[in-house]
Amino acid sequence: MKLTKRIIGLTLIGILVGVVVYNTWFSNSDENSETSGEGIFVQPEGVDIETDEIEVGEKAPNFKLETLDGEEVELADFRGQKVFLNFWATWCPPCRAEMPHMQEISNEYGEDVVILGVNATSQETNTDQVSSFVNGLNLSFPILMDKTGKVNVRYQVLSLPTTYFINTEGEVQIPRHVGPLSYEDMEQKIKELD
């Protein structure tokens, strides 16, 4: 009986290791690369939102969300400025890793580059976690609360973090980036944006 359990246990471990090795070495998806149109997007039931892919050169779809402080912020308010539209959550380790870099960029570039952090609030345990996270890192750029998930749906956020780069004309100028960005990556994107 004990031998049978050990064999079953070792077999399951072997299968799991095989899946991890396969996904690591043979998978064609690279979460840290720029992506456009990868994956299948499934719109949640009962949500009626346009979900066409947002192409480079198109106007970024406008939206209005509340900040942690209850202030309403609209994407169109930032026309004339370069915008990094970053989708994130507190439970996402890569999001945690890039947030200090976003704050550095916000400090360094001031009003020339706007960082908008759209929190996937509909996927958070509670908003107190978001507040604690933001306060713990002393984040001063706008944190927008997507309580219904509609903005995440419209921007086809399949994994976090995902960042869109919007130029001064309000157009998506550079393909979205899935995965964390370093400070250097962000500076490069700023140079590319009009």
CA–CA separation, 192 and 194 (whole Å): 7
3-state SS, 93-142, equals HHHHHHHHHHHHHHHHHHHHEEEEEEECHHHCCCHHHHHHHHHHCCCCCC
Kindly report the number of other CB atoms within 10 A of residue 153's CB atom: 20
Q: At what angle do helices 93-109 and 183-192 cross, to 10 degrees?
A: 50
> CA torsion, points 151, 179, 84, 46, in degrees to nearest 10?
0
CA–CA separation, 4 and 108 (whole Å): 62
Residue 165, SS3 per DSSP: strand
Give me the active site residues, please: 95
In the Cβ-directed half-sphere of 84, how many Cα atoms lie within 13 Å? 36
